[in-house]
Chains A and B, each alone.
Chain A
Amino acid sequence: MLQTLWDNRIQCVAMLLFAVGFATLLLHPNLMKKIIGLNIMDTAAYLFLTSIGYIEGRLAPIVTNASTDPARYANPLPAGLVLTGIVVSVSVTALMLALTVRLYERYHTLDLDKIYLMARQEEEGGV
């Protein structure tokens, strides 16, 4: 069992990185740190995908010497998927940061608990 985990250690690191990001997302009340946590989770997903595409001893999927032997190159497909993931992650991060800016302008804090409290008071007080 430990041997399997050690053989797949890069994927284990990706999972641990995912957990670190998830914990940051859940435990920090600060919105900025929540966004950082989500980005760490994204990075873990990229690491996992690229590790799936890697094959020991093969070249990057760029054809050299006009050789198109599939046994010569690593898998090009996960690289394309990671590219998609990076772009979506950048877009989502930008959107979250913009929303955070607007929240800060309204409540003058980044602490989600305080924001939640104030929003609730506004709702109940009908302000």
Chain B
Amino acid sequence: MKKKADLLAKLRRWDAGEFDLTDRLEEGFTPDEPQDSAYPWDREAPVERLERAQIRVWQRLYPYLAALLCAVTVVFLLYAVMDLPAFGQAGTPSQNEVMERYVSKGVFETGAVNLVAGVILDYRAFDTLGESHVLFTAAAAVLMLLLGAAPGRSERELEGIVSSDLIVQNTARIVVPVVLLFGVYVILNGHLGPGGGFSGGAIIGAGLILYTLAFGFARLGRYLNFKTYRIIVLGSLLFYSLSKCYSFFCGANHLETIFRTGVPGRIFSAGLILPLNLAVGTVVACTMYGFYALFQRGKI
């Protein structure tokens, strides 16, 4: 690989301080090379000399300009903070009738005791659908970027790293079941207390990552390979889309669910919020694990 060696040589010269951005034009120039070289930058034109001077000035000025920009930004932001209403007070413009409506009617209309879950998965479920799709699109983009990339380490090396540490393995044996169970609890409890699909999914994803760190990809692959990953993620997204997009075709009417809200505080209540939390949770958990697998070994 001549190109790679070339780049590495350049980097060494950079680190030794032998050239900086302004020495770009001397790059590749050696005394015994003829003047009519194929490289245009060997014959230094006045325009290029000007450009060199500009680059040098810019390089010297940039940190000061950047610091100045930050200082100006923070001064403006602090000035804006001075105009804000006092912190933690009721009756400020942000604590307005929207909030009152959500708090006073939320439990009757959505059935969710956790008002935040009611807001994000019932009143504003369409936003959350877009959010899930952002996550899915990011996962797809990372998949495209990293799937073809050559991983830094081979499969065997990876397995050797992940499956040789006794401390990690024994800790994972104790911790992973608890973590996964807690994640499931947080998802199922989303409409009753603090929690929900996003936080619970992140906890389950962390548990899966810990499991692969301790026991390797092969062992988790028995349950979660690329095929099951696709089925789970696409199935969850499809369920969410179907259950919330019908209002799209009704002219944004019928945003309320057809399911009864049930008795607030029971686990089977709050209409669609529990299934939607489950769908979001599986998408988030799979995406978290997928990110880890893609960055670690270039495939899921």
Contact = CB atoms under 8 A, between A and B. Distances in A.
A11 interface: yes
Main secondary structure on A side of the interface with B: helix
Contacts, number: 184
Given A76-B99, A108-B4, A15 B77 contact: yes
B119 A84 contact: no
Contact size class for A?
Answer: 35 or more
Interface residues of B, number: 72
B87 A68 contact: no
Contact of A10 (B87, B106, B115, B134): B87
Contacts of B105: 68
A10 B14 CA distance: 43
B78 interface: yes
B177 to A, nearest CB: 25
A19 B77 contact: yes
Contacts of B4: 108
B100 to A, nearest CB: 4
Contacts of B63: 27
Given A4-B82, A56-B88, A91-B137, A102 B95 contact: no
Nearest to A26: B66
Given A26-B66, A88-B131, A62 B81 contact: no
A5 B95 CA distance: 20
Residue from A70, A118, A127 whose CB has the most chain B CB atoms within 10 Å: A70
B77 A77 contact: no
16 contacts: A1-B82, A5-B78, A8-B86, A12-B81, A27-B67, A55-B90, A56-B88, A70-B103, A76-B102, A78-B94, A84-B128, A86-B198, A95-B138, A98-B295, A101-B295, A109-B11
